[in-house]
Structure 1
Amino acid sequence: MLLKKHPQLCKDVHTVRRGNGRQPTGVQWFLNSACSRKILFQHGARAPLAQFSDNTTKAKFPNGLGELTADGIRGSFELGKYLQNRYITKKKFLRTPLLPSQVYFRSRAINRCLMSALAVGSAMFSTETKPAMNAVSVYSYEKDEELLDHPRQCPYVASRLKQKCRVSPPSFTGPLYDAFVYECLGLKSSYFSDTGSFAKAEALVTEVNRTRLTIYFFFKSS
């Protein structure tokens, strides 16, 4: 997210001659930077990405795999209220009501990221009388692009895995890829007896904050 102070509130930046060019002084650089803020935040709490550990836990994530939970939506809204207090109420950095040219949201093209950005933006400019009546633009990109995502497969890591496993690693990422690495490296654990059980590790870690019984019974039965 990029926040830009209203042009009338930014002081003019003058330059001084240095040799053959004109460059801002250190103080002038500070004035420049005071006219904008870049804020990075992750999506809110989500469900497991690829699978649930069992059907009982699945019922606790009604929005489906990889989607925001109720806590995730609430947390994103609370972040927006924090930013409102910091940059609108206290610092008067942004105008209220919303001035679209002052705020730029950029998000990955997946539901949990887009919904988080919308919740944060809506909360930032909400009021007591209109708590959710704000339309904040969120810019994204095509779903298969990797501009804001990690590379699908690091060439260096892929070459090491191929040398170790004598087979090229799969192109997919996530829990199934983790399970491939677990099997390839010959890792052993009393908790994960095989590749299939290790593939549930991501689900268990994600679920533990919602239901501690699930992870307990999984390990007890393994």
Structure 2
Amino acid sequence: MDIKRLLAGGLIASALVVAGCSPDGKIENKQQDKSDVAVDKGLMNVEIKVPASFYEGEDIDAIIASAKEDKEYKEVKKNSDGSVTYIMSRKQHTALMIKKKESTASNVKEIEEDSETPSVQKIEYNNNFSEFTVVVDKEEFENSFDSTAVFSIGFIGMLYQVFDGTAEEDMKVTVKMKDAKNGKVFDETIYPDALDEIGEEK
């Protein structure tokens, strides 16, 4: 599986923040985003302004053209500062959430069935993709590069949580590794903590 393609496909997804309604009917943002992604929630529309930094190394015009073809937004426009604004109805946003859940499950299934990750036998997960249990042939797993694909599961879970409106400080994805032979969990990785640890090592 092309991990780079998978993560690139979640670029716009990582900029979406789901809002909830307060008792007085006003829109209340669940997340105070630290990446300068501007999210404006109206009663009828959802507007997201994604900064140019999110598209570094990407063809913004191609991304916009693709978004327009999908007709998942009312409007997509590139701003003078290089940022991109996406405007959609709340109905369209709800539809995107449904698709995101389906695509997340599909991405996990792809890892599970990929011939390039033979040690992986089964991947179990909860409803909001915050916890995964990867059942593997432990000996084969530890003597292969299958951990690279498994590592991507953390990203998959985090992207879904961003879609789901999880606040940055509350974001947590736990990936447990279980030995298929004895049913015991032999390793556990927590995201995004694991990413911070990798950064410190570098």
TM over 0.5: no
Structure-1-length-normalised TM-score: 0.28
Structure-2-length-normalised TM-score: 0.30
Larger proportion of strand:
2
